[in-house]
Amino acid sequence: MSKKAYQSPKSQSLPSRMLLNLMVFTLMIGFIAMYPTHALAEDSDERMAGAPMKDVKSEGDSVYDKLDLFGIVFERIRAQYVEEVESTALIEDAINGMLTALDPHSSYLDEDDFADMRVDTKGEFGGLGIEVTMEEGLVKVVSPIDETPAYDAGIQAGDFITHLDGESIIGMTLGDAVDRMRGKVGTDIELTIRREGLSEPLKVVLTRAVIKVQSVKYRAEDDVAYIRLRKFTQNTTSGTIEAVEELQKEIGPKLKGYILDLRNNPGGLLDQAIGVSDIFLDKGEIVSTRGRNEHDTKRDNASKGDLTGGLPIVVLINGGSASASEIVSGALQDHRRAIIMGTQSFGKGSVQTVIPLPGHGAMRLTTARYFTPSGRSIQAKGITPDIVVEPSKVESLLPKGAYIRESDLHGALSASEGKKANDNDKKNNDKTDDSKEDKEVIKDYQLMRAIDLLRGLSLYNKPHLEQIIEDANTGTAAQE
């Protein structure tokens, strides 16, 4: 290599290095100045209140040395990288690298990403319909969103996306990967997926669509109220209140209890998680957020009044239940207000604050951790169900007609006293049995278990027990 091709940083002219350092210093000062004024003031107060004073001189020298290094690397890339690179893109990538190195959820959002995020929280956005995070250099699926291309194609929570249209994810940031998965509605993209338990990768072609998320869905399961929360968006609390009130009217006095389905719910807005928890709680703490200093702790409490009237609740969770979903399930579990059923949740217990940077998008920064009312940390642990129920397929182990019944015996008495069964009775009985056998069964095993549990709990409520005792004492109880 010729001397002309390589020039030591020390051999740069003094004015050139001074100019470069001044540029980097101005850049950093400008970056700091983009913070909201109140954020800077709070940070200053925190240092004065609790943090020990540091050796400003020695720390400052080290910082400026690193800034000098940053400037050197920046100039080398601009001058000698094999392809020309825009200075703005380099700086944005450097900022994003600084944030993503902290944890998987901190990141830099350019103006387009920031706009997409604001649309996302309103419940409508374009893409494939999957919530993702970055883990070990790969994109990991937190959960698919119901009734989206990803959900319909069978993408599952815990899947790892390794390639997009045949190009490896390795080296991409999470933002880059998300940008690649988004695109014009109606266009296709091929995802290569690694799934636990499969030796070969899966290749799935998805067609991009406009994703409209209805965050709350509900229906009556006979005498049980079923409420499904897909995501915590701006209208989730009001939608849940509406669901509770409508189901109370529809089911009426026979209502046994509520199932709150948070499976594959990736989270969303904190205030909506607090609002949903408050619907089912009459008092007490819902969640606390704790930052690096003690006086950063914030506690949110329930207001008086339980809209469900104290009826039993079963909350369904799984590995795709994250963040806000874990706040709700943790609060109801700690207050013994609900039975948590399903499998271990995802374990995202960190708080991200989105700080707008005027003219430059925003930064998403992890600023605190979530804790349940009893003081349990959600981070990297998740919520453990009270009753573990794995997703399963239910099938009958016995063939139809495996048992001989009383009605099959020759000359057996019919249900009407004093009469013998005839062929018509047997036909009617067989018809009734067949209709029961052919009755459609709910395919969701976890939901079946939740419904059975609620109905079982309703058998042992106090008024019902008192009625059984009274019937027994008066001799009106049925005899076998």
Task: List residues with catalytic annotation.
Answer: 323, 334, 348
Q: Which residues contact 86 (CB under 8 A, 6 or more apart)?
A: none
Q: Are strands 224-229 and 257-261 parallel, antiparallel or unpaired?
A: parallel
DSSP character at residue 264: T
Distances (CA, A) of 121 to 47, 130, 237, 241: 33, 14, 13, 19
Pair 160, 140: CB distance under 8 Å: yes
Give dist(CA 261, CA 317) in Å, integer: 7
Give dist(CA 72, CA 16) in Å, integer: 11
DSSP character at residue 298: E
Q: Which residues contact 91 (CB under 8 A, 6 or more apart)?
A: 27, 74
Q: Which residues contact 422 (CB under 8 A, 6 or more apart)?
A: 414
Give dist(CA 47, CA 51) in Å, integer: 5
Distances (CA, A) of 88 to 19, 78, 94, 110, 359: 18, 11, 10, 11, 13
